[in-house]
Amino acid sequence: MSSTHNASQPARATTTGAVTTGAISPAHHKQYLIGSRDDLRVPVRTVHLTNDSTVRLYDTSGPYTDPAYEVDVRRGLPAIRDAWIDERGDTERYDGRIAALGVLPGTEVVRPRRAVGGKAVTQLAYARRGEITPEMEYVAIREGLPAEAVRDAIASGKAVLPANVNHPEIEPMIIGKDFLVKVNANIGNSAVTSSIEEETDKLVWAIRWGADTVMDLSTGDDIHTTREWIVRNSPVPIGTVPLYQALEKVNGKPEALTWELYRDTVIEQAEQGVDYMTVHAGVLLRYVPLTARRKTGIVSRGGSIMAAWCLAHHEENFLYTNFRELTEILRQYDITYSLGDGLRPGSTYDANDEAQFAELTTLGELGRIAREMDVQVMIEGPGHVPMHKIKENIDLQQEICDEAPFYTLGPLTTDIAPGYDHITSAIGAAMIGMWGTAMLCYVTPKEHLGLPDRDDVKAGVIAYKIAAHAADLAKGHPTAHEWDDALSDARFEFRWQDQFDLALDPDTARAFHDETLPAAPAKTAHFCSMCGPKFCSMKISRQIRDEHGDGSSAVDSAYDAEALAGMQAKSAEFAAQGGRVYLPLAAD
Amino acid sequence: MSSTHNASQPARATTTGAVTTGAISPAHHKQYLIGSRDDLRVPVRTVHLTNDSTVRLYDTSGPYTDPAYEVDVRRGLPAIRDAWIDERGDTERYDGRIAALGVLPGTEVVRPRRAVGGKAVTQLAYARRGEITPEMEYVAIREGLPAEAVRDAIASGKAVLPANVNHPEIEPMIIGKDFLVKVNANIGNSAVTSSIEEETDKLVWAIRWGADTVMDLSTGDDIHTTREWIVRNSPVPIGTVPLYQALEKVNGKPEALTWELYRDTVIEQAEQGVDYMTVHAGVLLRYVPLTARRKTGIVSRGGSIMAAWCLAHHEENFLYTNFRELTEILRQYDITYSLGDGLRPGSTYDANDEAQFAELTTLGELGRIAREMDVQVMIEGPGHVPMHKIKENIDLQQEICDEAPFYTLGPLTTDIAPGYDHITSAIGAAMIGMWGTAMLCYVTPKEHLGLPDRDDVKAGVIAYKIAAHAADLAKGHPTAHEWDDALSDARFEFRWQDQFDLALDPDTARAFHDETLPAAPAKTAHFCSMCGPKFCSMKISRQIRDEHGDGSSAVDSAYDAEALAGMQAKSAEFAAQGGRVYLPLAAD
């Protein structure tokens, strides 16, 4: 299916301009799997082990970890999908808003693309027509699955491939329950606490540790510019909540929002290349009162904005009443819907209540409308949910929303641990991932308390990569166990260097080890390498089974003379060869 | 059932000698619930909130957080159970080994107790006779359950109350699936890296953050002295693995171990007051070969020692062949068995294999023997288990072991994250706790990499308190949700101080908040406090339902004139009063 291409020698992590570049570990080699055409180069991370074997890992880090690539965040990433989009011949360039709104300092204005004649230029439309696009082939290689399976999953609406025609820089990826569970990281500046450069660095930092998509939740004056930096430098799909920017345009007054202003904001972001948009179209006026007796009301920012608008006007949510027109816009850019759960529970007390599931029903209805119009759809989910109520969430979502990809925030399984909500929620995320959630939106240790910094972003991504991978293992993804098995082999054989290189976070594993243990501990004997499993242990095992074939209690029982003699011989042999079976770490 | 007694004014955390004392937060007040007798004083942590309400939390921290108590780690804690044990009149003091082996610098030798005439002085024996001991009443008050339920659970073997007659300092606690899920923290010095004082501090630190029991896994020359400091200063049950000390006595050579030497070690620890002992009596000779084709062989230290002994001698495990004699010793001190899973899986690959479940069958058999002899029993469990194989572990254990309390290490749900195994395993721990595991043995971030320091101990305990509490919530423990609900209320009402005081770790929550947000942010309006749920929202809700009684789609639908007029009136009212519903944290 694909040949491979090696990048040049890897370097260690360095900081180029504002972002971190270079391999995470010297044994990590960036490689590309080449598809059916030369410009279809799928990145993988090949870990070279000390026993001359290699392990190939899924890689989200983009060109930043490719030593052959020269990073310049003022210019952005190469537009690897340009040719693919052009070849389809169904988009045209036009004079968009972007010229007036600004581009990166190192670039010139590129006129945005949109569909010719308003038709659908979505991966869903292509998949339904039976076309395997380069994007689909790319994700098939990336996931190690047949391209036809990818096309079929997209065509059925069970998976999405978010890829705005104005974001040609992305390395395509897929979100669906039959694929690897994905992780989203939220970033976003605020005028007070972070700069545009810091947010670009957070993007690169988040994908370095494994984020599959990134949502830019910026607020404040520089939303457009911040997003431009993020989109142009992002090899992963970028999601936004257009409502946040729309609200800025009306000085934070929800009641001043209008459909026209919202629509204009969506088009602005569509032209910039946003790949998926959270749209809180399910917060219906009649659902708002259902939250009145909750412990924590409406905790979704978008949900509370739309609830405020509905109550202020006492009209139906304009995102709902204009949903078909909105969908017509999204289909012209191939923007994927992420239908927002504005009424998600904000406490375990509120989980699975009438408001939440009422909105879910509407999201199912809207999802069907979107797919009818060839627009890809994900459904967002909670929130705060105690463990015994988690499965109902994914089961209902799959049923109501026709198996559209579920994209959940956690859920947090208890409310008592602010400061540790990456852990309270990784528990829920792993479980809901096992049961079929396609993408997990991370939660950082700062949740409920403040804005995440760089360390929090890493802590959140790592906790969620653990949850996602644990879910992949539990779902029996065909390749997931290879990573665990390689690390377990290294552990058992005391190949410390390989353990570090295979660790999700080699830096931390290495640092922890260096703190308390010598740099190069002696290996201990491998279990049974001395008696030998084939001869000694298995033979004894059979001898004993012959006597106690029923597996019954052997308390106070004696072995017969022949068996005893055999055992005594083995005993002497064992002692002569050093007398060690396998003593684990703690015994050294 | 009980009156309360307030400790004097709480102080902030200080360090007294080698250990941390004082309340975790100024709003935490140590209180005692007084039982049927004045010397039955059950500690609780009462959190005083700014809205004049209080929340009462289970408290494991011992007298160290009581400002009225003068800590002196050289003297140990008061022997609060002395009178209870004396009154039973079934133990006698004798000249034990302890006089020769040493006591704390601030104490004189106290001759150890044991049963008169070798009879059972166990909580199990008392429970079976229908007696509600002070210890049972104590845990009943602590758990908020009827004393008869406690007695019944112990009598049936479904719960254990570990309480050696030579550890009168403990505040009794219970381990069983019908009670709050408990957390164990492992500590233990090593000659190289930590001192006795450091381990005593780790004990106090672990219970400060919520450890319900502590295992002392010390190795090296000072095992006896370290344990003496830990037991005398511990208000929680102490567990050990006597095999570790026995191995030290034969200079680390497993094949030199003998039953006589092991028995002598058990008696030494029994006299010191160890409350439960891990005994790897299920590692049968015939099971050892079953591990030969594993990825990670035998990873339990005790398991590998006994496997080495079995192979060296080619005889059956002496802990198994002498199990009844061992049980006779334990019943004379009321030491609880923790039947060790020496063949637990050390990688997800090895989970739920023949070796593991073969040993479990033997543990079930041994548990029945122990209970027949009136000795309390827990069963230890894995280890490394992918999520989809977790439930089988608890289900089989409950079936095979007659619902004896399951005590599991994690399990870790993936092998790929050394440095983060408190998270990989908190996921598994929460799940197995939900399904009935009674106690969770913590895993720290240093697992597989090095020895945990003070920060690692805290990180491990916090991760496991999250898992245990999430499990309590999911199991529907009658009081568990009160803590979450109180914190959610505080969160929704922007009572920041109360959120911190109710947090599992107030220090971290407060520090994170101070990092990025102003010290006293303005409260935002409560959702619906302006429209009012009874009048506005609910009325509109009813109006709309009258029109769309079937809950069907309202896309493009119009409201009738009367409804519209009502809505417009509400709209004006909303705008006049400020126009805010509820804007969450991120919007401020």
User: Does residue A26 have a cis bond before it (omega within 30 degrees)?
Assistant: no
Instruction: Read off the pLDDT band of B532 (50, 70, 90).
Output: very low
DSSP state of B22: S
Token pair in block for residue B222: 């000072």
B416–chain A nearest CA distance, Å: 5
Residues A187-226 pLDDT 10s: 987 654 567 778 889 999 999 999 999 999 988 778 898 9
Hey, is A160 helix, strand or coil?
Answer: strand
- Does residue A373 sit at the B interface (CB-CB below 8 Å)? no
> How confident is the prediction for chain B on average, in pLDDT?
87
| Rounded Cα–Cα distance for residues A84 and A112 (Å) | 15
Chain B residues lying within 8 Å of A488, measured CB to CB: 295-296, 346-350, 415
Give how far A433 is from chain B: nearest CA, Å: 11
On whether B401 is known to bind a ligand per the annotation, the reply is no
Mean pLDDT of B562-576: 56
Q: Which chain B residues contact residue A309 at CB under 8 A? A: none
- Please report, rounded to a whole number, the percentage of residues in chain A having pLDDT higher than 90: 70
> Chain B residue with minimal CA distance to A305?
B583
* Cβ–Cβ < 8 Å for B446, A512: yes
Identify the residue among B484, B553, B557, B585 best suited for mutation to test binding to A, counting A beta carbons within 10 A and taking the highest. B484
Q: According to DSSP H, which parts of B409-453 are helical?
A: 421-434
Tens digits of residue pLDDT in B332-382: 999 999 999 999 999 999 999 999 999 999 999 999 999 999 999 999 999
Contacts of A513 (CB under 8 A, 6+ apart): A496, A500, B449, B450
The first and second tokens of residue B21, run together, are 């004392």
φ, ψ dihedrals at A80, nearest 5°: -65, -20
What does the pLDDT read at residue A6?
54
The nearest CA of chain A is from the CA of B100 a distance in Å of 28
What is the rounded CA–CA span in Å between residue A490 and residue A478?
21
Q: What is the pLDDT of residue B75?
A: 92
Partner B, chain A 528-547, Cβ-Cβ below 8 Å: 528, 531, 533, 536-538, 540-541, 544-545
Residues 6+ apart with CB under 8 A from A358: A284, A287, A290, A343, B551
Which residue is closest to B293 within chain A, CA to CA? Answer: A533
Provide the sign of the torsion angle of the four alpha carbons A117, A120, A125, A131, taken in this order.
positive
pLDDT, one tens digit per residue, over A82-139 is: 999 999 999 999 998 876 787 888 888 889 999 999 899 999 999 999 999 999 999 9
Site of tokens 């073997």? B157
Residue A343 CB contacts under 8 Å (≥ 6 apart), including other chains? A282, A283, A287, A290, A291, A298, A300, A303, A355, A356, A358, A359
CB contact under 8 A, A481 and B347: no
How far does CA A213 lie from the centroid of its chain? Answer: 6
Token digits of residue B189 = 């010095």
Helices B323-331 and B354-372 meet at what angle, rounded to 10?
50
How large is the angle between the packed helices A390-400 and A421-434, nearest 10 degrees?
Answer: 50
Q: Is B566 annotated as a binding residue?
A: no
Secondary structure element (H or E) that encloses residue A149, with its range: helix A147-155
The least confident of A249-253, B205-209, B325-329, B535-539 is B535-539
Q: Does A416 touch chain B (CB under 8 A)?
A: yes
Mean pLDDT value of segment A528-542: 33
Q: Grade residue B400 by pLDDT with cuts at 50, 70 and 90.
A: very high
Closest CA to B418 of A500, A474, A397: A500
Q: Report the gap between the CA of A257 and the closest CA in chain B (Å).
A: 13
Give CA–CA dist B417/B443, Å, rounded: 13
- CB B272: neighbour CB atoms within 10 A? 25
Pairing of strands A28-34, A3-6: antiparallel
Helix (H, G, I), strand (E, B) or coil at B381: strand
| pLDDT of residue B471 exceeding 70 | yes
More confident residue, B136 or A291: B136
Average pLDDT over residues A483-503: 93
Percentage of chain A modeled with pLDDT above 70: 84
Residues 352-371 of B with CB under 8 A from A: 358, 361, 365, 369
Q: Do B450 and A515 touch (CB under 8 A)?
A: yes
Mean pLDDT of A144-159: 98
Instruction: Using CA coordinates, name the residue in chain A closest to B551.
Output: A358
Nearest CB to A553; choose among B288, B312, B365: B365
Sign for the CA dihedral angle at B8, B11, B13, B16 comes to: negative
Segment B240-264 shows an average pLDDT of: 94
Catalogue the E-assigned strands of B377-494.
377-381, 406-409, 439-441
- Chain A positions touching B574 (Cβ under 8 A) are 255, 311-312
The pLDDT value given to residue B530 = 30
Q: Is A312 an interface residue toward B (CB < 8 Å)?
A: yes
User: What pLDDT is recorded for position B198?
Assistant: 82
d(Cα A101, Cα A228) in Å, to the nearest integer? Answer: 10
The contacts of residue A145 (CB under 8 Å, 6+ apart) are A178, A179
Q: Whose structure tokens read 């004997």?
A: A525
Average the pLDDT over A65-90 and give the result: 95
Q: What amino acid is encoded at B284 in this protein?
A: L
Q: For the residues of B209-244, what is the DSSP string, one character each?
A: TT-SEEEE---STTHHHHHHHHHHT-SS-EEE-HHH
Q: Which amino acid is at B530?
A: M
| pLDDT at residue number B492 | 86
Q: Which amino acid is at B368?
A: R
Amino acid identity of B1? Answer: M
Are B55 and B483 spatial neighbours (Cβ–Cβ below 8 Å)?
A: yes
Q: Is the pLDDT of residue A518 over 80?
A: no
Q: Return the pLDDT at B6.
A: 53
- pLDDT-derived band at A570 (thresholds 50, 70, 90) equals low
Q: How far apart are CA B492 and CA B490, in angstroms?
A: 6
Task: Please indicate if any CB of chain A lies within 8 Å of the CB of B185.
Answer: no
User: Does residue A272 contact residue A98 with C-beta atoms inside 8 Å?
Assistant: yes
A191 vs A182, more confident: A182
Contact A153, A126 (CB under 8 A): no
Predicted local confidence at residue B582, as pLDDT? 41
- Which residues, including other chains, have CB under 8 Å from residue B20's CB and lie 6 or more apart? B13, B14, B64, B201, B204, B205, B208
Q: Does any CB of chain A come closer than 8 Å to the CB of residue B430? A: yes
Q: What is the mean pLDDT of residues A343-355?
A: 96
What pLDDT, on a 0 to 100 scale, did the predictor assign at position A582? Answer: 41
| CA A36 to chain CA mean position, Å | 26
Pick the residue of A253, A516, A552 with the most B CBs within 10 A to test the interface with B by mutation: A516
Say if residue B58's pLDDT is above 90. yes
- Helix axis angle, B242-249 to B301-313, nearest 10°: 50
Q: What pLDDT shows up at residue B398? A: 98
Residue B305's Cα: distance from chain center in Å?
27
Distance CA A189, CA B220 (A): 53
Region at A282 (left for phi over 0; alpha for psi -120 to 50; beta for the rest): alpha
How far apart, in Å, are the Cα atoms of B339 and each of A1, B124, B381, B420, B490?
52, 17, 9, 27, 43
- What would the mean pLDDT of B97-126 be, rounded to a whole number? 89
Average pLDDT over residues B137-163: 98
Which H/E stretch holds residue A369? helix A354-372
ipTM value, please give it.
0.89
Q: Which residues in A lie closer than 8 A to residue B554 (C-beta atoms)? A: 284, 286, 316, 320
Condensed to tens digits (0 to 9), the pLDDT of residues A427-484 reads 999 999 999 999 999 999 999 888 889 999 999 999 999 999 999 999 998 889 999 9
Mean pLDDT of B541-562: 37
To the question of whether residue A301 is assigned a binding role by annotation, the answer is yes
**Chain A, chain B: beta-carbon pairs less than 8 Å apart:** 443
Measured between CB atoms, does B250 come within 8 Å of chain A? Answer: no
CB contact under 8 A, A284 and B418: no
Between B527 and B119, where is the model more confident? Answer: B119
Mean pLDDT computed over B146-157:
98
**Which of A575-584, B167-176, B312-321 is least confident?**
A575-584
Measured between beta carbons, the chain B residues lying within 8 angstroms of A540 are: 285-286, 288-289, 314
Query: A554 or B412: whose pLDDT is higher?
Result: B412
Concatenating the DSSP letter of every residue in A503-565 gives SSSHHHHHHHHHHHS-SSPPPPPPTTTTTIIIIIIHHHHHHHHHHSTT----TT----HHHHH
Residues of B in contact with A302 (CB under 8 A): none
Q: Is the pLDDT of residue A551 over 60?
A: no
CB B280 within 8 A of CB B322: no
Token pair listed for B351: 């989970």
Cβ–Cβ below 8 Å for B295 and A488: yes
B474:A304 CB<8 A: no
Residue B548 has pLDDT above 70, yes or no: no
Q: Where are the beta strands (DSSP E) in B59-100?
A: 91-93
Residue B76 pLDDT > 70, yes or no?
yes
Using alpha carbons, select from B125, B132, B167, B126 the residue that is nearest to residue B149.
Answer: B132
- Picking from A284, A286, A512, the nearest residue to B445 by CB comes out as A512
pLDDT of residue B516: 65
Asked whether the beta carbons of residue B451 and residue A516 sit closer than 8 angstroms, the reply is yes
Instruction: From B65, B350, B419, B444, select the one nearest A492 (Cα to Cα).
Output: B350
Rounded Cα distance between B146 and B1, Å, is 9
Longest Cα pair distance anywhere in chain A, in angstroms? Answer: 95
Contact A387 B473 (CB under 8 A): yes
* Residues belonging to chain A: 588
Question: Quick one: how many helices (H) and strands (E) in chain B?
Answer: 21, 18
- Of B391, B354, B406, the closest CA to residue B159 belongs to B406
Closest CA to A289 of B157, B7, B319, B527: B527
If you count them, how many residues does chain B have? 588
State how beta strands A14-16 and A19-21 pair: antiparallel
Percent of chain B predicted with pLDDT > 90? 70
* Pick from A304, A347, A426: CB nearest B484: A347
Q: Which residue of B has its CA nearest to A546?
A: B286
Residues in chain A closer than 8 A to B490 (CB atoms): none
Name the residue with tokens 């035998």. Answer: B298
Confidence bin at B566 (pLDDT 50/70/90): low
**pLDDT value, residue B490:** 93
The Cα–Cα gap between A237 and A173 comes to 8
Element holding B482 (H helix, E strand): helix B480-492
Q: Which residue of B has its CA nearest to A427?
A: B427
Q: Answer yes or no: is pLDDT of B265 > 60.
A: yes
Nearest by CB to residue B419, choosing from A349, A503, A583, is: A503
Residue B517's SS3 state is: coil
- What's the token pair of residue B381? 């469990």
A450/B516 touch (CB, cutoff 8 Å), yes or no: yes
Other beta carbons within 10 Å of A148: 12
Least trusted range by pLDDT, from A163-167, A206-210, A385-389, B518-522 = B518-522
Q: What is the pLDDT of residue B577?
A: 53
Average pLDDT, chain A: 87
Most distant CA pair in chain B, distance: 95
pLDDT at B219 exceeding the cut of 90 = no
CA distance A87 to chain B (A): 38
**Has residue A39 got a pLDDT over 70?**
yes
Q: Which residues of A touch B372 (CB under 8 A)?
A: none
